[in-house]
Chain A
């Protein structure tokens, strides 16, 4: 636990520099938060989770992936699934602790925004 605290303290500025996250980045982080996924699986996952509302194009996906790798939000895993399920062209991605910290920070930012709006009496539904 103390390790994470140290890491978070250390990266506060770096995290702040990345906020707010582009929607595609946030969704990709969500997609690889629980399990390693390859590119096509990420697209499918995002589409299913948003009920078809957000459909990442392959170009946008890999452009985001490249940037997220550089930023250290995700990493490429060397663990492969069982050979009969695998396609060797595929690469699998996983969220890093730093990525998780950034996702949390983004969540806090959105929550803060929502609280602020509610305090002003603004709700999603009409009164």
Chain B
């Protein structure tokens, strides 16, 4: 019998209360009549009866409630639209932030079993280092922790696949690399160990995008030959569209040639190690294993391997911590907006239920149970939440592309994030929680005040409790608002600081293009020199051009290219921290970029291979390696030669405004020997000119074509674009956070205004009496303003604390702006105060316009 009574709970409680006893009695009678055999059939019938009828009853109630809600909404469209918009903003912001974060962090990497994928590095006491080829081979031969271990390095190359030469980014991989990632090609195959061992041909695998672009997705591409920097490569396979490794930009993979794979330079570190751990082996376990081997190698090769150990990282960890912090900040901001939106929604519903209390009292008096009224109110808030949620999904769909710009290019992700199923599930959950939680609270409150006791006691008792709840909600809004303002403010200050940093060069009026000379075609130094001289002479003669020069890598386009510096008695070693970046330049590079020449001279055409090797160094180089000396004429070991310093130039922020840069060494392009340093061959052409890019570019193209018809011109950018790019993702981030902060401010203002308008309306009677007794309007206004000031203060204090804690957590993004930045906090607090005042103005004015006579008449 108890089971049947439990079953009856499926009915709406009003129905159960009314007919439960009779239904139970009826069931008991039937059971008596059919004792024994019919028992099971009776139960089956009872369950079917109860579920079917309960469902229909619930549906009928829902229909009634919806019909009623529709009528109520039509009467108060202002409230409904505000509530829906508020909900849409909160749910939209959170869903969009979740979509992007989920895409980047929660979704597995696009490789098979990605948790077992790790990167392998050397570790020195100070930093981690790529592997040297011989060390890589020794580690691989001796380790027992890996199912597979491979190496790769990136390259940029001129690729001729169709008619037009193309400048592409690729990766040269050992035969293990692609198979260990566990992704199968869409057509063709991957490289084999056999091909690698025989070393008789050159092979390439294409990315899906490049295959589509250059071959129109033709499956006949297999077996075709493409020229990569002049060397023919046979295409053996095409990877799927979703595949990217190690970064998004990489468009083809080549089998690493034997001459690189078997390179013997143990102190030249340029292999990226990637491995698949054996099942059950942890990264820490693998690292311990590799360190034992590294220690053995250290004993074996003490002259080069001293203090060179090994390190293992999860592949997932490789993705910049900054991107992570940025996305966490984004999530924090969106949750704050959601919180404010929910507080506002609850506030709106509370105010509304107060305004509707007479209607609810009437319905209660006519016999509607408390449960029935709560149900009606929850239906209404759910309806608002559902409409808001649906609109919120649209908001999210619209804003995800903007937020996606926060994802750095270094991630191995090919497609773009979208509002997908998990994001929709999150949106649905948020909607339900918002609707139920923030609808039930006001519903319970108003249904309790709708009892006749409360009515007789007078509304003021219940009203006061309402004010307390609503005050708490406003305090939450102000606090969340301050948090967002502080975060957005801190990041804005950081961005401003970065923008105002001196990069060490003048970026205005400089156009840059790339013309990378392919090897082995340009293995001859004379041939290269001929090309550079030819191009530069013609470019410098163009109208409006003030100067032009070639350099290995422009500032802020490449961070590496580092060599150890050897001083008398201190041999050049990567591990002792004495390092500098190396660039080969043509004369007048410094003049073209506006880098000041402090002492000595520029590199010259006469610094030829038959002359002693010379170098121009940066000021930090001079300070660090020759402190308190005149460095011109001093010598140092660098890149396998003794170089004499002939000039000193200003420092340049090679790695961009956010990171420290190594001291810089510039070598004359005329002293770049035949086949050495192919990576450093000058390729970036910088032109200082007052002519526009549009006017200049066609002429530059035709000059390059006349010098070498097969030479592509790529990466056309102004120097200002290169600089702006450094802070581009930050700019987006600041804009997003600022947008969140503005939304928060507006919502908080709405909340404060709503609350004060409500209290003033409630206190009309009291205010009227006080004015009748001669109270001055100023006192009444100041009383109301005081109330809002107290609310603002209650919100600002925790807001400042949380804002500061959040600022500490994202200190890495702040480039030296302290998390307790006074200006930011002052502005945030002032803005909140202003918004509070603005929100209280109308209610305060309305209060003093209360006419005592009208109040008494109203009573």
Which residues of A does B touch, CB under 8 Å? 38-40, 57-60, 62-63, 65-67, 87, 89-91
Total chain B interface residues with beta-carbon distance under 8 A? 19
User: Which residues on A sit within 8 Å (CB–CB) of B18?
Assistant: 62, 66
**Residues in chain A near residue B636, CB distance under 8 A:** none
**Which B residues are in CB contact (< 8 Å) with A62?**
15, 18-19, 22-23, 53
Q: Could you tell me which residues of chain B, from 60 to 108, have a CB within 8 Å of some CB in chain A? A: 60
- CB-contact partner of B23 in A38, A58, A67, under 8 A: A58
Is B21 positioned at the interface, with any CB of A under 8 Å from its CB? Answer: yes
Return chain A residues, CB-CB under 8 Å to B53: 57, 59-60, 62-63
Chain B residues near A63 (CB, 8 Å)? 15, 53, 56-57
Chain B residue at minimal CB-CB distance from A89: B21
- Minimum C-beta distance from A58 to chain B (A): 5
Pairs across A and B, CB under 8 Å, 11 listed: A38-B22, A39-B19, A59-B50, A59-B53, A62-B18, A63-B15, A63-B53, A65-B19, A66-B57, A87-B25, A89-B22
For residues 1 through 58 of chain B, which have their beta carbon under 8 Å from a beta carbon of chain A? 15, 18-19, 21-23, 25-27, 29, 45, 49-50, 52-54, 56-57
| Additional 12 contacts, C-beta under 8 A, given A38-B22, A90-B22 | A40-B29, A57-B53, A59-B23, A59-B49, A59-B53, A59-B54, A62-B18, A63-B57, A66-B57, A87-B25, A89-B22, A89-B25
Indicate if the CB atoms of B22 and A39 lie closer than 8 Å. yes
Residues of A within 8 A of B56 (CB): 63
Name the residue in A59, A62, A63 with the highest tally of chain B Cβ atoms < 10 Å from its Cβ: A59
Query: Could you say which of A62, A66, A67, A90 has the most chain B C-beta atoms within 10 Å of its C-beta?
Result: A62
Least CB distance, B61 to chain A, in whole angstroms: 11
**B-side contacts of A57, CB under 8 Å:** 45, 49, 53
Expressed in whole angstroms, the Cα–Cα distance for A112 and B201 within the complex equals: 95
B27: min CB distance to chain A, Å: 7
Closest 5 CB pairs of A and B: A59-B53, A59-B49, A57-B49, A62-B19, A89-B21
Chain A residue with Cβ nearest B45: A57
In Å, the complex CA distance between A38 and B53 comes to 20
Give A38 to B23 CA distance when docked, in angstroms: 12
Q: Which residues of A contact B22 (CB under 8 A)?
A: 38-40, 58, 62, 89-91
Is B21's CB under 8 angstroms from A58's CB? Answer: no
B123-164: CB near A (< 8 Å → 1, else 0) gives: 000000000000000000000000000000000000000000
Residues of A within 8 A of B27 (CB): 58
Complex CA distance for A39 and B18, rounded to whole angstroms? 12
| Chain A residues near B57 (CB-CB < 8 A) | 63, 66
CA distance A57 to B47 in the complex (A): 11
Set of chain B residues within 8 Å of A58, measured between Cβ atoms: 22-23, 26-27, 49
User: Which residues of A have CB within 8 Å of B21?
Assistant: 89
- The answer for the CA separation of A89 and B21 in the assembled complex, in Å, is 7
Inside 8 A of B25's CB, which chain A residues have their CB? 40, 87, 89-90
With the chains together, A65 CA to B22 CA distance in Å? Answer: 12
B19 & A66 in contact (Cβ 8 Å cutoff)? yes
| Alpha-carbon distance between A59 and B53 when the two chains are bound, in angstroms | 6
- Chain A residue contacts of B60, Cβ below 8 A: 67
Task: Give the residues in chain A near B19, CB-CB below 8 Å.
Answer: 39, 62, 65-66
Q: Which residue of B lies closest to A62 (CB)?
A: B19
Kindly list chain B residues whose C-beta atoms are within 8 Å of the C-beta of A60.
49, 53
Least Cβ distance of B552 to chain A in Å? Answer: 85
CA distance A67 to B57 in the complex (A): 10
The CA-CA distance from A57 to B48 in the complex, in Å, is 10
B26-A40 in contact (CB<8A): yes
- Chain A residues near B45 (CB-CB < 8 A): 57
Contact string against A for B residues 279-295, beta-carbon threshold 8 Å, 1 for contact and 0 otherwise: 00000000000000000
Task: Give Cα A89–Cα B25 distance, bound, in whole angstroms.
Answer: 8
In the complex with contacts A62-B19, A66-B18, A66-B19, A39-B26 CB distance below 8 A = yes
Closest chain B residue, CB of each to CB of A91: B22
Per the bound structure, the CA–CA distance linking A58 and B45 in Å amounts to 10
Q: Which residue of A lies closest to B30 (CB)?
A: A58
Given the complex of chains A and B, what is the CA–CA distance between A90 and B607 in angstroms?
115
How far is the CB of B372 from the nearest CB of chain A, in Å? Answer: 13
- Chain A nearest CB, measured from B68 CB (Å): 15
Cα A60 to Cα B19 with chains together (Å): 12
The residue of chain A having its C-beta at the shortest distance from the C-beta of B26 within the complex is A58
* CB-defined contacts of A89 to chain B, threshold 8 Å: 21-22, 25
Residues of B with C-beta under 8 A to A40: 22, 25-26, 29
CA distance A101 to B57 in the complex (A): 26
Q: Which one of B26, B27, B49, B52 has the highest number of Cβ atoms from chain A below 10 Å of its Cβ?
A: B26
Give CA–CA (A32, B159) in the complex, Å. Answer: 93
A65 to B23: give the CA distance in the assembly, Å: 12
Expressed in whole angstroms, the minimum distance between the Cβ of A14 and any Cβ of chain B is: 17
Question: Could you give, for residues 401-417 of chain B, a 1 whenever the CB lies within 8 Å of some chain A CB and a 0 otherwise?
Answer: 00000000000000000
Residues of A within 8 A of B26 (CB): 39-40, 58
Interface centre among A40, A58, A62 (most CB of B within 10 A): A58
Min C-beta distance of B28 to chain A, whole Å: 11
Nearest B residue to A40 by beta-carbon distance?
A: B26
Residue of A nearest to B60 (CB): A67
| Nearest CB of A to B702, in Å | 86
Question: When chains A and B are docked, how far (Å) is the Cα of A91 from the Cα of B22?
Answer: 8
Q: How far is the CA of A89 from the CA of B24 in the complex (A)?
A: 10
Q: Which residue in chain A gives the minimum CB-CB distance to B12?
A: A66
Q: In the complex, how many angstroms separate the beta carbon of A46 from the nearest chain B beta carbon?
A: 14
Q: Which residue of B lies closest to A56 (CB)?
A: B49
Closest to B18 in A: A66
A39 cross-chain contacts in B, Cβ below 8 A: 19, 22, 26
A95 → chain B, closest Cβ, in Å?
19
Rounded to whole Å, the gap between the CB of B8 and the closest CB of chain A is 10
| Most chain A CB neighbours (cut-off 10 Å) among B21, B45, B53, B60 | B53
Measured between beta carbons, the chain A residues less than 8 angstroms from B29 are 40
Min distance, Cβ B11 to any Cβ of chain A, angstroms = 8
Beta-carbon nearest neighbor of A39 in chain B: B22
Q: Which single residue of chain B is at the shortest CB-CB distance from A60?
A: B53
- A60–B46 Cα distance when bound, in Å, is 11
* C-alpha spacing A60/B22, complex, angstroms: 13
- Cα–Cα, bound, A87→B15 (Å): 20
- A67–B26 Cα gap in the complex (Å)? 20
Residue of A nearest to B56 (CB): A63
Least CB distance from B193 to A in Å reads 73
Instruction: Please give, as numbers and ranges, the residues of chain A lying within 8 Å of B49 by CB-CB distance.
Output: 57-60
Chain A nearest Cβ from B533, distance in angstroms: 97
A40 to B26, CA, bound (A): 7
> Taking CB as reference atom, which chain A residue is nearest B10?
A59
B167 to chain A, nearest CB (A): 76
Give the Cβ gap from A96 to chain B, nearest Cβ, in Å: 18
User: Which single residue of chain A is at the shortest CB-CB distance from B14?
Assistant: A66
In the bound complex, how far is the Cα of B49 from the Cα of A60, in angstroms? 7
Please report the C-alpha to C-alpha distance between residue A87 and residue B21 in the assembled complex, in whole angstroms. 11
